[in-house]
Structure 1
């Protein structure tokens, strides 16, 4: 008998964007071939290596200001990956008249982009038709002299306007015109003159999506551009399985009364990423003997695009040891890629998994869902691995990945400089 850990979401909010797994049955993308779990984890490590390079020499600090949010919108979200399998996708509208596109949503990226006609050199295969700027009455290229062009981390210029270029951790890239057009999140929530990349040369592991929705903290992201509309507040819930649906929401209505908040930390050298203080880990209700300096030396970010949480080596070693001790009654299975703590549950009708909780600054305890503790590499669910990995270097940033965020309503409130968690979001 397989191990079931499905969570049903009762009711819906018409303002929410649906969020689904890119390869799940609810996805609008029809894949002929899904990536193997091995390739998923290889791509995930590439993203982690890129993040580590981005912030290896920076220091972060806390900032704060208070402002009420002004509007709200919510969109359903579905599951996807390091830009191909472990990430999640939502549908947005671009242009006038509106055209809908399935895009990866990513808190570790700023520039939103979609593939556009004409593709000068290469466009990766996608399910949606390419966006045609000539068919939108509200489309316009950003001029080279515009201050918006200078906000790009990598820009150029042509006779037709400002050029952008983004390269991701797994080697994927997009290049094209930096432009503006109407962004439609829901019929009642529209962002006019939204600046995005109109990609004419795009290559990599984008898994049939039309592009990416950037939710990072820098000036070019949707969060920054729509700050006045949504007050710098957004939230999401990543579903527990690829057959479940979560959501992506904007504005004050995306929060709930039982959200527990921890301080959001920022790094002026890498404004894209959202930092927070991980201070302890418990297994079976017992805090692990991890010195506070282990967490404070490395620091921690939360990232929707990283699949598996990475911990400082000493912290992971303590977690692994305690988990193995609690699971000593079950048959071990061979290690798999990132995972060195795996089990064979063949023949078991029921198993008992020790609870794992992450503790953050401000007294916030996040008790992980089963889907955030064990990673099942096959549909049979007979083999499972502890869904964490250790960094090679004690100074490398820890990353709270999307597997451990499953089923929580995760709230980002930039105006108050806090990140919140509430259980049972989806």
Structure 2
């Protein structure tokens, strides 16, 4: 239990910084400070405002914030988020658009479990809602899951996806974003062998590490450079007494956030300094560009230790998916068993997380799939975030994905989709 203390110390440090920010903001906002011509108090209040918000967001799960969507009738329709399948480590949720005729495209978005909440895909959901019935995997924060619920590793993750696909039925089109791409491919292959009638119609893999060694990046180099023993000793802690998952071994979200920030430390430092100046001038708003981005970016969740370690060891180090050697519950998952599910890969030319070549490797693994059911797209000038949520996604990739879905379902392509893009192969 030695890691309980370090987990609580890290949470105490976060809590203290949040308190310091709130205190500085309150003290520097007293009316009497207006009598001092020096801008010190305004800067202090700005620093306090930004600091309090920053450290508070680290332990707060963001709200989906999707209130309504405009339908073809030109009216705003309210959106309800409803749980379709509730499981200890993650739920399958649906965005139900009230009063709108049911859309024929049924899409399952597989969200990453790599530090951030599923709400990271909020803009992706928003862009698909006008044209699709959208479902998403909503993974839970490991700190809130009691130890009595057992383990959760890459095999359990894959079986969760298998169950979700079974519930949604064979008319489903699956879109996996980033980290879950290899496991979603494995889940589809598992269904192909065990329950072929439950397979989805199509599978779109966006920026995922199917073969991490195809094009090495800083992320893959780190995975190969460190040993599993080093990871266990330096990255893992036990959840402290404050949360329901007390005693569970996790890769803490705060440690993950520190890793994220260190990759672009200068950029983040400038962003926070600029926001303090804006707050001091009274130019910062609750939902300005800075807060919209960092409210999501700073909200991190703990990952179960077994999921983190098995991902590094089996996906990155041993490359079990890339070598078609992945095993689930003692059963070899042969990706070559996929023979009817259309597969498309999407990569960003400037992606420094899952570089071009890593994701498209999936097509070579699908040896039983005819070429007519394979497609790929490489987006020029797009980084990792842009291929599923940025301008490249909205303007170029989304139309291609919808066109790919229509080409592999009974849905007749709309004129808008015909003109929006073309299939890439």
Structure 2 length as normaliser, TM-score?
Answer: 0.25
Structure 1 length as normaliser, TM-score?
Answer: 0.25
**Larger helix proportion of the pair:** 2
- When Rg is computed on C-alpha atoms for both structures, the one with the higher figure is 2
Where relative contact order (Cα < 8 A, 6+ residues apart) is larger, the structure is: 1
